[in-house]
Every structure is written in structure tokens, then in C-alpha cells.
Amino acid sequence: MREQQIYNIVSFIKEETVYFQDKARGISYDDFLSDKDLRKILNATLNELVLATVDLAGECLRKARMKVPITYKEIILSTRELLGAVAMKTAPLAKLRNETVHEYMKINWKNIQFMRTSGIDIINAYLKSAEKYLKVTK
């Protein structure tokens, strides 16, 4: 059962990173500001990507029989000894998620920009390390 759940999380992250990149490609701040649907899609996708990454981190910790902390940031940070330095780069994404949930327009745009320029790459690097550690197949 756990293997299927892990596979589902990995597949979801892969699909959502592509979806986010497609939706965020070429948009300007004015587009983001004026298109409520686009804004909601990008904010929700950012949120879901971070939550799925936290879930993946939790699976890594469970496999190692390590305690799963309470906060999103700590969950990701706790995987450092399992996945390496990529955990340190990934943990700050929890802050993006928290800011996005509260819908602060200028901060959300900044977060969308970060995800477009490097956040997705960070998630993909974390995903690659987690897949290797968890030995994800299918």
C-alpha cells in the first residue's frame, strides 16, 4: 500500500510541475492581477506542489523510521541526512505555501515568479533524490 501511495505522490508532483510551468509561462504581473481564475490556479498549484513535497518528505522519514515533525519546513529539513543538501534548498518552499494561502497579492506574485525561475527546479531536484532514496518504480 505504501508503495502505491509513494508512487501516487511522485506522479502527482511530476504532473503538477508541468501544469504549473504551462500555466505560468509568459504571464505578466498585469495578467496575474487581472485574471482571478489564473491567479487561483497558480496559487492553488503552488500550494499543492508544496504539500505533495511535504508528503514525500514524510514518506522518506517513515522509511527511515524517523520521527515526522509537525511543521512543513521541519518535515523537509529532517530529510537532510537522507537526501542531502537539496532538503535545505527545498525547506523554504513551506514559507511560500504559507504566504500563498493568505493571498497577499504582491507576495503571491513574487512567489509565482520564484516558482517559475527556480522553485520548480528545486522541487524536481528534491523529487529526484527522494525517488532514488525510496526506490520508486513503475
CA dist 64 and 133 (Å) reads: 10
| Domain 2-134 in CATH 1.25.40 | no
Q: What is the pLDDT of residues 44-65, one digit of tens each?
A: 999 999 999 999 999 999 999 9
Q: What is the pLDDT of residues 68-104, one digit of tens each?
A: 999 999 999 999 999 999 999 999 998 877 666 666 6
CA distances to 21, 90, 98, 113 from 68, rounded to whole Å, are 30, 16, 19, 30
Which cell numbers hold the place of 95?
A: 514559507
Whose cell is 537539496? That residue is 86
What's this model's pTM, rounded to 2 decimal places? 0.91
56 and 82 Cβ atoms separated by less than 8 Å = no
Domain ranges of the chain: 2-134
Which cell numbers hold the place of 62?
A: 517513515
